[in-house]
Structure 1
Amino acid sequence: MSDIGLTSGDFTEESEPFALFATWLKDAEASEINDPNAVALATVDADGLPNVRMVLLKGFDVRGFVFYTNFESQKGQEILGQKKAAMCFHWKSLRRQIRLRGEVEVVSDEEADEYYQSRPLGSRIGAWASKQSRPLEGRFALEKAVAEYTAKYALGNVPRPPHWSGFRIIPRSIEFWHDRKFRLHDRIEFRRDADGDGWSKVRMYP
């Protein structure tokens, strides 16, 4: 492993990226007004064309970075088809950015069930009512579907839809970027060849 210290500015001496990510996310939670866990998610379709959209990070640990979605949506189909994705966090108030990319796995049913049941009732109903990424003939059709599922699950628990679950990005690389004067930014990239390998650490030209 290369021995490149993260001593410049707000970087700390971390030998692996997850602890540093946790520190930066905590800083963002104290600094960002809205959704510090918002992240741009990039995928690729069957033709090799990229897509990007904002999602919310719902969990992370040494296994990877987790978000949830409708598997029948465009991003769901693209990830299931390619099993690869990338993320980019940007916290403007802190002048910081984190990029990561890697293979993707589906979370366990137990993880998906636990998170789904923690969601507000309206969000659980919405997961049933929305045919995500498909044409909608009018707002009324969506509101009608919401009303129908609200009535269907008026009593008892709202089960998790079979097409709704989570993805975990298992990163091959994670880059930490911090703005500096005259565009001489700090960039530190953690790299590994496969899940379970140790991380190497490289300082990059801005």
Structure 2
Amino acid sequence: MTDPFALFDAWYAEARETEINDSNAMALATADARGRPSVRMVLLKGHGPDGFIFYTNFEGRKASELLDNPHAALLFHWKSLRRQIRVEGTVGAVDDATADAYFASRSRDSQLGAWASDQSRPLPDRQVFMDRFEEVSARFEGGQVPRPPHWSGFRVTPERIEFWQDRAHRLHERRLFERDGDTWREGLLYP
């Protein structure tokens, strides 16, 4: 298979069948404007040839770093399959229609949580957050919960995608795809 997106789809479908929890979990690495790295787990919520999508509060640390330095790396690690996929690329915000559609698909409590949370900011104690959640719940009682203006998604548009498969005796297989304009070049890397 020489199409990195078809290969991703095949591996991802297998992971969705075999991984016990969060087969869509991916590590997201960012760097601030001074180049200091940060990494955290996020959930893949959409993917295709145009990129890999996740959603977040745009007032939090990860969004701030991505807006200052619009490059990121992703890592999918499926331990039970003994596989990982590394993605590196540029980052941009998804359009409002895409963010609105995904937000509408979330559970009501997740929607309310997006309004109640000042993501990544200090929290004096958990009760403060729970009280805010109750206030927001009362505010939107009986009605639709609109997407907060500070909440949206990012798309990582890949420039490099590496597929790593564990092999016996650390003789792993590494396939690298690199974007060259509108086409992809494929090669192998030593383990």
Describe the superposition over 1:141-200 as per-residue Cα deviations: whole angstroms up to 9, x where unpaired. Answer: 100100000000002110100010000000000000000011010000000145xx2000
1:44 is aligned to 31
SS of the residue corresponding to residue 164 of structure 2 reads strand
2:145 is aligned to 158
Tell me the distance in 1 between the aligned counterparts of 2:84 and 2:180. 23
2:53 is aligned to 66
Relative to its length, the structure with more strand (as a share) is: 2
Tell me the distance in 1 between the aligned counterparts of 2:85 and 2:98. 25
Is 2:116 the counterpart of 1:129? yes
Matching residue's letter, 1:77: S
Matching residue's letter, 1:118: S
Matching residue's letter, 1:30: E
Is 2:79 the counterpart of 1:92? yes
Compute the displacement of 1:46 (Å): 1.8
Describe the superposition over 1:54-110 as per-residue Cα deviations: whole angstroms up to 9, x where unpaired. Answer: 000001011000000001110010001111111000000000000001000111100
Percent of aligned pairs with the same amino acid: 55
Compute the displacement of 1:134 (Å): 0.3
SS of the residue corresponding to residue 123 of structure 2 reads coil
2:10 counterpart (23, 33, 49) = 23
TM-score (norm 1): 0.91
1:80 is aligned to 67
SS of the residue corresponding to residue 80 of structure 2 reads coil
2:134 is aligned to 147
Tell me the distance in 1 between the aligned counterparts of 2:25 and 2:81. 14
2:189 is aligned to 204
RMSD of aligned C-alpha atoms? 0.7
Tell me the distance in 1 between the aligned counterparts of 2:116 and 2:145. 12
Describe the superposition over 1:10-31 as per-residue Cα deviations: whole angstroms up to 9, x where unpaired. Answer: xxxx222001000000000111
Matched length: 191
Any unmatched runs of 5+ in structure 2?
none
SS of the residue corresponding to residue 93 of structure 1 reads helix
Tell me the distance in 2 between the aligned counterparts of 1:96 and 1:145. 41
SS of the residue corresponding to residue 149 of structure 2 reads coil
1:3 is aligned to none
Any unmatched runs of 5+ in structure 1?
1-13
The ranges of structure 1 where at least 4 consecutive aligned residues each deviate by more than 3 angstroms after the TM superposition are: none
1:110 is aligned to 97
